[in-house]
Copies of this chain bind each other. A is one copy, B any other.
Amino acid sequence: MITLTEENYIKSIYQLGRYGTMTVSTNGIAEALETKASSVTDMVKKLAEKGYANYKRYQGVSLTLEGKKIAADVVRKHRLWEVFLVEKLNFTWDEVHDIAEQLEHIKSEKLINELDKLLDYPTHDPHGDPIPDKNGDIKKTDKILLFNLAENAKGVCVGVKDTSSSFLKYLDKHKIALGSEITVVSREDFDDSMVIQINGTMTISISQAVANNLFVKEEALD
């Protein structure tokens, strides 16, 4: 049996380590889960004993294959529930995360498969993050940060890095959504701000904090 807390630790290790490809630090996990490093050490030992993690003291943690499978499953559930909340229950993209944090721990394979079907097998959640399939595999896209788009380049908004409510509401206010076309009108060296045009209409200036938290898929120049 795997506890809710263990699931959260495993998920954290998975996400901090870029879907389980890197080793993760004790402090990193502690910060992500808002707990203390000493608690993390305890838990990480337990995860290693249970076969979910690889751990040698002072050397950081990584997930075993089994651990990765569990993590992908929790992430899959989290993101499918987020889609459900937005598509079926009229939630906005800034409202879904906390509820999905709870729902991701519900245990029922049939439940999640039927949910997947009800939603017509979505590949991405409301924030543009990919949804792992039943095997835990993730289709990765070649998205880049808006900040890395050159002057006059165009891109389609495909995701957000920061999923905080305040950032998402900022985007709403400026009518930036997934699928919006963004053109870099000009860049300002001084403060790294840039002027962008959204869907060929609105033109606004955005800070580098914004540009560094929006993922776009670059489009060929016309």
Contacts and interface: CB of A to CB of B under 8 A. Distances in A.
A84 B162 CA distance: 32
A150 interface: no
A99 B108 contact: yes
Contacts of A95: 110
Nearest to A98: B108
A135 B89 CA distance: 21
A218 to B, nearest CB: 37
Interface residues of A, number: 19
A152 interface: no
A102 interface: yes
Contact of A91 (B90, B99, B105, B114): B114
A106 interface: yes
A204 interface: no
Contact of A99 (B98, B102, B111): B111
A56 to B, nearest CB: 35
A182 to B, nearest CB: 31
Contacts of A206: none
A107 interface: yes
Interface in A132-164: none
A77 to B, nearest CB: 12
A114 B86 CA distance: 11
A45 to B, nearest CB: 26
Nearest to A85: B111
B88 A110 contact: no
Contacts of A106: 99, 102-103
8 contacts: A89-B110, A89-B114, A89-B115, A89-B118, A95-B110, A99-B108, A99-B111, A102-B108
